Each structure stands twice: as structure tokens, then as C-alpha cells.
Amino acid sequence: MLPIEEPLPKPILLKPSTWPFLMLGFRPLFWLSATWAVISMLIWAGVLSGILPWQSQVPATLWHAHEMLFGFASAVAIGFLFTASKNWTGIPTINGVQLLLLCSLWLAARLIFVLSDSPYIWLAICQGLFWLLSITHLANTLVQAKSKNNYQFIVILSLMASVNLTFIWLIATHNYLFVLTLSHIGVLGFTFLISIIAGRVLPFFIARGLNLQSQTTTPLLNIALFWSALLGLIGFFAHHVFNSPINPGYLLIVTGLLHIARSVFWFKFAIWQVPLLWSLYIAYCLMAIGLIGFGGAYLNFAWQAKDALHLITIGAMGLMILSIMSRVSLGHTARPLKAHPLLSVAFALCFLSALIRSLFPLFINSHDAWLASAILWSGAFTIFVAIYTPILMKHRLDGRRG
């Protein structure tokens, strides 16, 4: 028997379940994240240049770090996992009113943090509820389907939520020095998440994008990277929180080298002909280099830790997010996996933003490098928003729900 789906209803204003925009998690969360990536970075550039006054008690640098990690990147991760878990389990994930509530909590947290002089309590409530609803729904989906291979994402998201709420508590108690350390832990946590997801999706994307008969699998490297990345994260935490004598630099460098080894196995020359592939591949390699540089800062390399870290946040996280959002938005709206010509420009702008922010401070005034990087980043995500807003707002081309 052939499965028959009911025809999609026309969107009704007072029935969010009929809005295409709220039919699957990636739609509103990708759009909100990309839009916020532009707005928040322009605010940051305005503060850096002195055009915008900063009124909040929270230092602007900590606001910037929080919003990039726990505003922008976290929402993309949640949107991706909601969408992926539907594929993994075959169980419909959050949509309609529930998804609208989730997005409202996320948006409220963004507005509270940027507009309130003392945002701590309401920020913690809104951000905490966003994490709670997201993790609860994802856990319910995975447990219901007995998808034990994916239970690790519940643990990772729970740890990230804990780091986020601790971050808010620390800025409320003015423990700013440790907040910076915690933001670095958050970045390393994202590299751990990317390591797992990339190990699954990149070989698949490459094989499908290049019409290969099989994927290049690296099971031993995947296991080695899981434990290396985990130990690097634990070692970094122990070094800064418990004054462990073990230098985390060695663990981070080993992890970066293992990532480079895995990228060599994945490489195909034809990747350079497909923007949705070379962008992902470059982002992954930048994460490896950034981890080596960040670890090297603990071994007295000339490259400063904060600059190497931005190769990860902008080059790896930013470019990979931009690429994955572009691909997922096409694939899950039943559109051909062919990038818009301007999307290559967006990828290039994000790549240049990463290089300028992480390397140019070695040669030019740091302030100028930061501003140039912020402008390029904003341009990259503006292109995404312009191209994908109509795609994310409309029904799938095949008439199915999702």
C-alpha cells in the first residue's frame, strides 16, 4: 500500500500549526539565528567603533560571547537536531504552537539581554526554559524511538545548558574572569558536538554531492576523536577550575591533528566544484587548525589564544553553520541541492572574516581587524537571510508537511 498524506491546509493566521514557517524546527530557528547573527554583530561593531553607547552593567565583550555561543549557535544546533531526529526516528518533532513558544522564549532572552540594564533573572528564566523545552522534547523523541545511538546528544545539550546558566550566574555575581574561561569551555563543547555531527554528515554529504557509490568511513578515527575531544574538554576544565598540573595544550593539539587526519581521508578534488561541500570541508579544517593554535597558546606559541579561538568560532562554527543551514533548508523543503550563486560569496565573506579576525591582529591594529571581520560576517549572513527567507516561509515543493 502507498502512504497517502492529507493535503496541507492553507495557512490560517490564528492556527500556527498551519503556518509553513512552524512545521519543522529548522525553519524558524535557522531564520532567527541568521537574522540575529547580522543584528548582534552590527551592534557589536557599533559598540567597538563608539557609534553605539553600551548601557548595560554586563561588559559588552561578555554579552557578545554569550550571544554568539548561547544565542546564535545554540539555536542552530537545536533546530538541526530537531530536524535530524525526525529523520533518525520517523517521529514528528516539535511544531506549531509549541515551536512558536520555544522561539518566543529564545527571542525574549535576546531582547532582555540587549535592552535591560540588569537582565540576569529574566534572562536565566527565558534561556533556561528554552533549554528545558528543547532537551525535554528531543529526549522524548529519542527515547520513544529507542534511538540509543543518539542519546549522547541529550547529555551534550544538558551540559551546554548547564554551562549557559552558570555563565549567567557568574556575570550576575560579577565574576567576569571565570566567565571568559567558561566561554572558552563553551566553544570547546561546540567543537565536541561538531566532531560527532561532522563524522556522520560530512562523509554522507560528500558521497551524495559527488554521486559516489560509497562513503569514506573512518570508524577508528571517529572513536579516537570522540575520546580525544572529550579528554581535551575535561583537561581544559580541570586545568582552569581545579588548577590541574596537566597542560591542556597537548590534548587540544592532538585533537586538532586527529581532525586533520580525518579530513585527509574525506578529501576529494571534486569538492571544490560544489559550494555546499567545500564550505563544509574548509570549516572543518579551520576547526582543526584553530584547536592546534588554541592548544599551542598554552605552549607559548606566538599565536594568542583568543585569536586562535576566533578561527574556531567564526571559521569553523560560523562557516559550518552557514553551510549546513543552506543545505538543510534546501533538502528539507524538497528543493534541489544546488547553491544560489550568491551563496558562494557568503561563504567567502565568512571565511575572510575568520582569517582577518584570527590572523590579522599579528600584523595590524587589532581593533581594525575586529571591525573588518564583523562587517564581513554581517554581509555573509545578510546574504543567507535574503536568499532563504522566502524558502523558509513557504511550503515544501513536494506538498508534504515539514
DSSP per-residue string spanning 239-259: HHHS--SS-HHHHHHHHHHHH
On whether both 270 and 240 belong to a single domain, the answer is yes
Pair 170, 194 in one domain: no
Residue 7 lies in a domain: no
- Where does 145-217 have alpha helices with state H? 151-172, 176-209
Domain shared by 238 and 163, yes or no:
no
Within-domain flag for 5:
no
Tally Cβ neighbours within 10 Å of residue 3: 4
Q: How many domains does the chain have?
A: 2
Q: Does any domain span residue 346?
A: yes
Q: Is residue 9 part of a domain?
A: no
Q: Does 184 reside within a domain?
A: yes
Tell me the helix, strand and coil percentages in the chain, rounded to 5: 80, 0, 20
155: Cα within 13 Å, side-chain hemisphere = 8
Out of 156, 174, 192, pick the residue that ends a domain.
174
Based on the domain organization, do 66 and 185 belong to the same domain?
A: no
Any idea which residue has 529523520 for its cell? 87
Amino acid, single-letter form, for residue 284: Y
The three cell numbers locating residue 251: 590534548
Sign of the CA dihedral with 330 first, then 335, 337, and 341 last: negative
264 and 130, same domain (yes or no)? no
* Residues pairing with 194 in the sheet: none
The range of the structural domain enclosing residue 94 comes to: 16-174
Q: Which of 136, 153, 174 is the last residue of a domain?
A: 174
% pLDDT > 70, the chain:
97
**Is the domain of 149 the same as that of 117?**
yes
Query: 34: pLDDT confidence band, cut at 50, 70 and 90?
Result: very high
Helix (H, G, I), strand (E, B) or coil at 128: helix
Any domain includes 360: yes
- Based on the fold, state whether residues 118 and 242 are members of the same structural domain: no
Give the tens place of pLDDT for each residue, 35-65: 999 999 999 999 988 898 888 888 999 999 9
Between residues 90 and 256, the one the model is more confident about: 256
Could you tell me if 61 and 181 lie in one domain?
no
Q: Check: CB of residue 134 under 8 Å from CB of residue 158.
A: no
Rounded CA separation 7/400 (Å): 8
Q: Is residue 56 part of a domain?
A: yes
Verify that 192 and 48 share a domain, yes or no.
no
2-23 pLDDT, tens digit per residue, is 344 455 667 676 677 778 888 8
| 159 falls within a domain | yes
For residue 232, pLDDT beyond 50 = yes
* Same domain, yes or no: 183 and 283: yes
Do residues 147 and 221 share a domain?
no
User: Which pLDDT value is given to residue 4?
Assistant: 42
Which residues lie closer than 8 Å to 168 by C-beta, 6 or more apart?
Answer: 66, 120, 123, 124, 127
